[in-house]
Amino acid sequence: MSGQRHPITDVGIRNLTGKLTKMWEGEMQFAECEATTKPGTKVEGRTATMVQVVHPVPRQNFKFHVARLFFDEELKIPVHFDAYSWAPPQGGEPQLEESYTYAQNLKVNTNLTARDFDAYNNPEIFKK
């Protein structure tokens, strides 16, 4: 975990959307955000709709100042996420805190089975 914000077990589209859903549901009770959408943005060459949530005032209950989630317009799944902290007190721009992209070489419905992930399915492992 040295130098990392999240453990490897948090990786993945399902985990990202689960954490964001929980975070935004908790933030909704404060009714202090500006949410906008922008269709037609590009992520790794794919067309996406950006959903942006901005908290105008820093609060202990808000993890980020700005969060942007990009949904692939063809696949209808999240493919990119950016989160920004609040600008420093002395002024300046919000700082990028987290950025994750799932769009690069993304393949869905590849017909993989549990056997494809079984360690005993790879004889190379047992040669060592």
What's the whole-number mean pLDDT along residues 90-114? 83
- Under the banding of pLDDT at 50, 70 and 90, the label for residue 60 is confident
pLDDT at 5: 77
Between CA 88 and CA 21 the distance in angstroms is 27
Look at residue 120 and tell me whether its pLDDT is greater than 80. Answer: no
Rounded Cα distance, 119 and 52, in Å: 40
Task: Look at 6 and 14; give whichever has higher pLDDT.
Answer: 14
pLDDT band at 7 (very low <50, low <70, confident <90, very high): confident
The model's pTM is 0.75
pLDDT greater than 90 at residue 88: no
Residues 6+ apart with CB under 8 A from 121: 115
Query: What is the structure's pLDDT at 96?
Result: 94
125 confidence band (pLDDT: 50, 70, 90): low
